[in-house]
Structures are given as C-alpha cells and as structure tokens.
Structure 1
Amino acid sequence: MKFSFTVLPGIEDIALSELKKKWSSLNSSELPEIEQKKGKLFLEADVSDVCTLIPYLRIPTDAYIILDEFTGKDRPKIYNKISKIPWHNYLRGDFPLVLVTTKESKIINSSLVKESVESGIKLALKKSPIKKVPKGKESISNKIHIDLYQDRLRVSLSLCGTRMDKRGVKLYTDAAPLRESIAAAMTFRLSELCEDQNLIDPMSGTGTFSLESILFNRYNSYRDFDYQIAPFFINLPLRKRKKIENRLFKSVSTYDLSPKSVESIKHNFIPFKEEFEEIIVQDFFKLEERTDSVAIINPPYGKRIKLDEELDIFINRIITHAKDSIKLKKIALIFPTWAYHKLKGLNLLEKRFISNGGIDVAFIIIDLT
C-alpha cells in the first residue's frame, strides 16, 4: 500500500531521519524509498511495517493510507470512483469525516467535491455496511482527506484520527505552548549534533522539551490510533511491541522561574519522575557551570508573557550566560524570526524558519565551544 506522513513544513528532513532510524530498529524489512515533499513524506510499504512505526514517531503530525489516486475532472467520475472503494475494509463505526482541499483544478469548489465523495461513500456502504466500533473505542474519527490538485485526486484515510502530536500525556499547559512535534524535532536534532550529553531545559513552561526528549524512542501507549481497530489491520498477524533502548540524552534536568509552572510539570510527569535528574524552581541566570551539558530553550515572548527588555537583547543575555557561566557546549533556541535578524556573530550549526501556532519562528542551534 501507499502511505503519507504529514510534517510541519521546514522540518521534513528531520522527520525523515527519525523515520529511517526507527524503521531499522522496529522492522526487519528493508527501508523503502521515501519521497520528501513540502509538508509530506511518501512511501510504499507493507501495512504492518508502517503501522508498527506510528506509535513511536514523534515528528510527523499525521499518517495516512492512500486508498486511491485518479484524474478527477468531473463530479460523476469522482462519485463513481469513490463508490467502488471497499470502505467496509477500512472503516468502523460512524460515517467518516470528509475534508477536501482543491487547487489548480477544473473543479475548484471543495463543497461540491465533498458532496460527490460523501454520496459515493454512502452508495458503497449501502452495499457493504461497516461494523460498529468495539465498546470503549468510541473515539475513532474515520477522517478522510481528499486532495484535488491539478485535476489529480488523492483519497487518503487517517491512520491516527487525532493528530499524532496530541500525545495523550500532558494535562496542563502554559500561556504559550510549543507544539510537541516541533519540540521533538528540536530535541532530536540537538541530540544528533551532540552525543552523550546531559540536557537542561531551563525555561521549561510545562516541560514540553523535557518530556519529548524522554519519550522520543518509546511506544506511545497513552492514546489510541484509528488504525488499531480498522478492519484491514486487525486481521493482520499480531506483532510484538519492541523496545528502543537508546536515549537522546544521558540525563534531563528541568527548571523554571515560576513555582506554578514547576508544580504543573511535576503533576504532568508523575509517571516519568524517575527519568528526570531534577525538576525544581530555578532562575536560568543563576545556574552555575555544568559538565557535558547542552540546553534547549523557548524563551518567553509576546503579549501573553511580557519581558522587561527587547527579545533580541534577552536572547543575547541567554547565550552569553550559557557560554561564559554555565559552560554549555551547545544551545538550541526557538523564537520569533524578527528577533533572529537582530542577532550577530552566532556560530550556527542549525538554522530553520518555521511556523508555530501561526507565528513565524527561527529554530537555531549554536555551538558555544
């Protein structure tokens, strides 16, 4: 079957690196050829191999099985092609949620395309109804994406339902949360650039960086994925869950100046408290020298978290203290792009411009040695 993974634009190559490493750890089959496009990774592989990966992947935001691709220049053809897909092999429970995007095509009205698709599905399900969802699994979404681009229509079914970056772990968030998939990409990339180091997360908010670094190679058993009860999957031979032994960092220490944030972190991380070196209230600018350590920081900014100085000045102070006082080897930072352009003389190992919650941000890693 053909599959696609959705990735935040700008970090596709990091997601590809994660996929390759975890494929070799979890699957015995040879890694298939993977096509990288803006915001997407495409591959053709065995269903079991791809589904084995999904609970371990941290950087993609969704995974899809591609059910069909065809030329869609008129609605009757779309209706007929959709009605011939054996939906009872893929769906359980309620009628699916159909999401449509159209671009540069003869049919540009997404509502009309959606109407044709839903009518085709209804005809197929009338002939071959779908089974009910097992008790306790009512959260299945049956999310179908229809992408019509340059008259080429792709029919994709989400294997996850809820986005993959919704881990099912954290309960409390702070005023300016960072998307988990971005935090995972940053911690993974930092670990690739510095082996056998200790990680400090000194402005942790609710500890997204810390948690992503600890859970990065673990099976996510804190939520369900739609594929797990899909007819095409439950008939496959059961695979044993594997354990990836490698950790991204030797240890993880988590700090924040706010007692409220630290209490939230401690509450969120009760199941993982043994994995942390320490979780305490601590001012970053009072941290003293550390050996074999690197840091990752999402500094406060914006209207919701006010600073007493310009953000670029604050970031320069962070970098100076990290280098001169804490003696860190590397530091990873993410902050609005406008502030990045005011910084000078950085020894950059990584520089990317991405979007976090609609804000254009710079993700950088600096060599401080």
Structure 2
Amino acid sequence: MKLIAKTFHGLEDVLAGELKEIGAQQIKTVNRAVEFEGDQELLYKANLLLRTAIRILIPIHHFTATNDQELYDGVKQFDWSGIMNVDQTLAIDPVVFSEAFTHSLYVALKTKDAIVDQFREKEGKRPSVDVENPNMRLVIHLSNDKATISMDSSGESLHKRGYRVGMHKAPLNEVLAAGMVMLSGWDKKQPLIDPMCGSGTILMEAVMYARNYPPGLHKKTFGFMGWNDYDPALWNKIVEQAKEGITQPRLKIFGSDSDIKAIDIARESALQFRLNRDINFSLSSFERLEPHYPKGMIIMNPPYGERLMKDKDIIDFYRMIGNRLKRTFTGYDAWVLTSNKEALKNVGLKPLEKLKLFNGSLECGFHKFNLYDGTIKKIIKFR
C-alpha cells in the first residue's frame, strides 16, 4: 500500500528517519511530505507514533483535469462504493495549485457532487456530508492539471496531541516543536533549557521524545476508525505495545518565561500527560536566568517582532540574547528559531548551522550557536 506522510518544510528528512524506525519501505522525501509503503499495521503505527507528521494519506485515484467538466468526470471514474457505502458520511478537503482552478472550495464542491451523484445514480440515494466527523475524509490535490484524491487516515491533524489547555499569544505548532528538538541533536541526557518557553510546547515535545511517549496516545479518534476495514483488535494491540515502550529516564529539563500566564498554561498543560515531574518551570526573564548545570543545550523561539514586540525594541532584545548567551551560558549549544534576520545579526555570534523551517507562513532560520570559551563577537552576514 502506497502512503504519504505530510509535514512542514525542513522536516522531511526527520520524518523519513521516523518512518524507517517503524518499518516503512520504499521511503522517498518530497516537498513537505514523505512517500512510503506499508500495510494496515504500519498505517496505524504511523498515526500513533510519528512526531513530525501532520497527517497520513492513502492516494487512491489519479487523473487530469483542465476544466470543471473534466474534474467532475475524473472523480466519477472511480468506484466510490468500494471504499464507503451510501449510509456513511464524507468530507472533502481541497489543496489547489492550479491556474485553471482558482477557488479551492469550488473544487471541493465539484468533487463532492461527482461522488454523491454516482451513488444516487446507482442506488437511488446519496451519502451525506459531515465536515466535522465524517466516516470518510478525502483530500483532493490539484497541481496544474494533475489531480490526486487520497483517503485521510488521520482525521484531525496529528499535531493536536491533546495536552494544550490554553492559548498562548504566539503558540508553536507541536509538530514543528518536535522537529526542532530532533534536529538539534539533543541526546536526552543533556540538560535542556527553553528560556522563553511560552506555553511549554518545545519542552513537552522533548519529554515525550525522551520517554518514547507516543504523540497520538491521547487522540480519541482517527480517520481510519470510520472506514469499513477498521480493525479495532489490531489498533488496540499497537496501542498496548506502544504503552509498553514508554520509558522513565531521569531528565534535566527547564523552562522559564517572564509571562506568568504563559507559565501557568505550561504547567497545566504538562499535567495533562503527567509530564510535570520531568519539567522544571520558573517565572523569570532571560536577563535574570542562571543555568543549573555548566553544560547543556538551549532551544528557544524568541519573539520575531511580528506579534509580540515592536520593531524599535527587537534589536535591543536580540542584542541582550547574544550577551546573555556569551556571558552566562558558556559550555552550552544554543538553537534559535526566528524569522527576523536583521534582528538576529545583533546576537553577535556566528552560527555553526542554519536550517530553513516555517513557523506558519513565516520562513524562519533555525540557527545553532556553539558557546565555547573565548567566543569572539562577530556580526553575522546574511546573503
């Protein structure tokens, strides 16, 4: 069975590595996704275990379409009674990159019309649409004239782990946070600090990663559970095996923030999965934070100046970050995610690595700084 795992730009190789670990075959990275092959058991494992996947799709139908009628006819070429029955519900999610089709919702409507019309012509009645909790969620992807329809096995996006109890002013997506932890090379034994932790997403993803805690364990429903071939016994077996694999290592993980509401949200969120004993949260600004250990790793997502800080203050803020890193955190490796290239120049450190990631629609750099003794201030030159 051919499958596709969707992810964010820059996390394709991390996701490919995760897929290899769970037994996927014929793995191939593409833009914001990884193609692979596996059986029903692997499909279930992918939804439960993958940290950097947004959703898992099964492509079932390919055709070409350059206008409305070709789209409608192409959808009707497939025998939809083979994957669902008329008494079940469906929903259509469109992803459109085509000059011929400029309105994605119209593409979804035409796709739905073709499917329900086929059922009406064959059986005299049609399935209903349920956009919230359908038995069958389909994704139609149109790239120029190439159309692919896939079954969405995940349903609600896999980034929704279930631990988030409140909304921070600028929340970090859980999949992106997990990818940052894995890209950093954190060895799980090092002390780990997020000095601007907000609601604690990076740290909670780090704990789950270190403990081998399945990110989908608390997700109540998946798309595949509404399918005709859903195997509850197989799913329960996979879940129990995953629970048995959870470990209890001794972790040194610290989160701080100057916003008391953010710290309150982080602490309450950590309680949801009982991760609170693994994370030491404190109310502190970065200017006053002192490390508990002489060496370790820092991963931070400071304000970019987009929502949380005015432009006039952002330069001084990044200059403060650089000064604190150089003077207080010698012996640490620091990873900084930001979309503000100009502000980052004022950190005064030369990055050893620069990776491109996206935080929502914002293109960001994920920069690694090695804070060794005798670090020389050097303004970064960006091309």
Please give the residue correspondences for 1:345-356 in structure 2 after superposition, counting only pairs within 5 Å: 346-356=349-359
What value does the CA root-mean-square deviation take over the aligned residues? 3.3
> Match of 1:232, SS?
coil
Q: Give the aligned residue type for 2:74.
A: I
TM-score for the superposition, normalised by structure 1: 0.83
1:203 CA displacement:
1.0
1:142 aligns with 2:143: no
Distance 1:120 1:131, change over 3 A: closer
**1:92 shift after superposition:** 7.9
1:58 is matched with 51
1:180 deviates by 1.6
Alpha-carbon offset, residue 356 of structure 1: 1.7
Give the corresponding residue for 2:162: 168
The alpha-carbon deviation at position 125 of structure 1 amounts to 3.8
| 1:270 paired to 2:271 | yes
In structure 2, the residue corresponding to 1:233 is in which secondary structure?
coil
Give the drift of 1:78: 0.7
Deviation at 1:181, TM superposition (A): 1.5
Is the counterpart of residue 221 in structure 1 residue 217 in structure 2?
Answer: yes
Q: Counterpart of 1:20?
A: 20
Give matches, 1:1-369, under 5 Å.
Answer: 1-21=1-21, 23=22, 27=23, 31-72=24-65, 74-75=70-71, 77-84=73-80, 86-88=82-84, 93-103=88-98, 113-126=107-120, 127=122, 139-140=133-134, 142-190=136-184, 192=185, 194=187, 196-216=189-209, 217-219=212-214, 220-223=216-219, 224-234=221-231, 237-238=234-235, 239-241=237-239, 242-243=241-242, 244-245=245-246, 250-271=251-272, 272-289=274-291, 290-302=293-305, 304-306=307-309, 310-339=313-342, 342-343=345-346, 346-369=349-372
Tell me the equivalent position of 2:377: none
Paired-residue identity, %: 22
Question: Higher mean Cα deviation, 171-180 or 116-125?
Answer: 116-125
Per-residue deviation at 1:55?
1.8
Distance in 2 (CA, whole Å) between partners of 1:70 and 1:327 is 57
Residues in 2 aligned to 1:230 and 1:249: alpha-carbon distance in whole angstroms: 41
Equivalent pair of 2:84/2:136 in contact (CA under 8 Å):
no
Q: Deviations over 1:84-115 (max 9, x none)?
A: 562317x984232342525266x777566545
Describe the shift of the 1:60–1:287 C-alpha distance in structure 2 as closer, same or farther (beyond 3 A).
Answer: same
Alpha-carbon distance between aligned partners in 1 of 2:105 and 2:270, rounded to the nearest angstrom? 44
Shift of 1:207: 0.7
Q: Would the alpha carbon gap of residues 320 and 103 (structure 1) be closer, same or farther in structure 2, given more than 3 Å must change?
A: same
**One-letter amino acid of the structure 1 residue matched with residue 290 of structure 2:** E
Would you say how many aligned residue pairs link Structure 1 and Structure 2? 355
Give unpaired runs (5+ residues) of structure 2.
373-383
- Equivalent AA in structure 2 for residue 87 of structure 1: I
- With normalisation by structure 2, the TM-score equals 0.80
User: SS at the partner of 1:205?
Assistant: coil
Alpha-carbon separation, structure 2, partners of 1:277 and 1:76: 53
Change (3 A) 1:101 1:82: farther
- Cα separation, 1, equivalents of 2:99 and 2:306: 38
Label 1:100 to 1:200 Cα distance change in 2 as closer, same or farther (>3 A). closer
TM-aligned CA deviation for residue 183 of structure 1: 1.0
Give distance in 2, aligned partners of 1:323 and 1:344.
9
The unaligned stretches of length 5 or more in structure 1 are 133-137
Q: Distance in 2 between matches of 1:115 and 1:130?
A: 15
Shift of 1:274: 4.3
Report the 3-state secondary structure (helix = DSSP H, G, I; strand = E; otherwise coil) of the residue aligned with 2:169: coil
